[in-house]
Amino acid sequence: MENHPNSIVAVQFHMNDAYDIPFSYTRGTFYGIVGVPTTWFDGVIERVNIQPSESQTYTWFEDAMNARLGVPTDVTIDAAVERVGFRQYRVAATIAVEPGGVDKDMVVHFLQVLDHYPSSADNRYRNAARAHAEAAETVPAGGAKLVYSDVFALDDVDWQHHDQARFVVWVQQPAAFGPAEVYQATVVDLPPYVEGDADGDGDVDLADLAILLGAYGTCQGDAGYDGRADFNGDECVDLVDLALMLGNYGT
């Protein structure tokens, strides 16, 4: 079975301040948060408040994380993200329970976060929760793979800081309230974006031109429309998009 050292210990942090957003508030309620700050390691080890010094606090948190790193898990996650339209990304996760494991009921979470959220906007600085989706499923043991996906549209703030946007994917024991064990977690970054890069491989070349020409003259809802070739967000593929692509062609 896969051990946590080969994965990520899911650290869930909640700051009970005026800048809570619905998902953060929901998670805080789920765990019955009363102290500030509160951290949960893999959903089962709670740390409330801080120690007398920074080094003591670090050691306190490190001990909790190390306690979880030694716990084996039979769940695996492979996640990927692709651009599917103007500011739109599909995140998909392939989840499996390894041979020798046991069938698991779980909740699959997709969380889009933004690192270094602009401090001029509010006080959520690191990995600020921006959008969330979840699904409850039963994953059978024996290596059967189940794929879950959802599409997220980045808003103006996320798009402006596109290089700091990422997705956290984790699977967790279903429960009405915590503690609830996190079986596995992973992080996947957004692919680099170059205007005109329709296929998301980081450059603008003939492959991208082929995608645009295949959708040229169509709008959303038309047969053949491909949102990856809509570079200005008007839901049509036209001369404007061609000009944007040609402006970066060969880069």
Strand 104-114 and strand 128-139: the pairing is: antiparallel
Q: Is residue 187 included in any domain, yes or no? A: yes
pLDDT digits (tens, 9 = 90+) for 78-110: 999 999 998 999 999 999 999 888 999 999 999
- 135 and 29 in a common domain: yes
- 213 and 90 in a common domain: no
Q: Is residue 198 included in any domain, yes or no? A: no
The enclosing domain of 39 has a CATH number of 2.60.40.10
Token reading at 143: 């290596």
Please give the pLDDT value at position 1.
43
Q: How many domains, in total, are found in the chain?
A: 2
Q: What one-character DSSP code corresponds to residue 62?
A: H
pLDDT digits (tens, 9 = 90+) for 174-221: 999 989 999 999 999 988 888 899 988 888 999 999 999 999 999 999
- 131 and 78 in a common domain: yes
Domain boundary among 192, 216, 239: 192
Q: How many whole angstroms from its chain centre is CA 244?
A: 28
pLDDT digits (tens, 9 = 90+) for 124-169: 556 678 889 999 989 988 877 889 999 999 988 888 888 889 999 9
- What domain range includes position 210? 206-247
- Please name the residue that has the structure tokens 């210990």: 9
Residue 13 has pLDDT above 60, yes or no: no
pLDDT digits (tens, 9 = 90+) for 31-55: 988 777 888 999 999 998 888 999 9
Give the global pTM: 0.82
Token reading at 220: 């959303």
Residue 16 has pLDDT above 70, yes or no: no
For residue 37, cis peptide bond before it (omega within 30 degrees of 0): yes
- 218 and 104 in a common domain: no
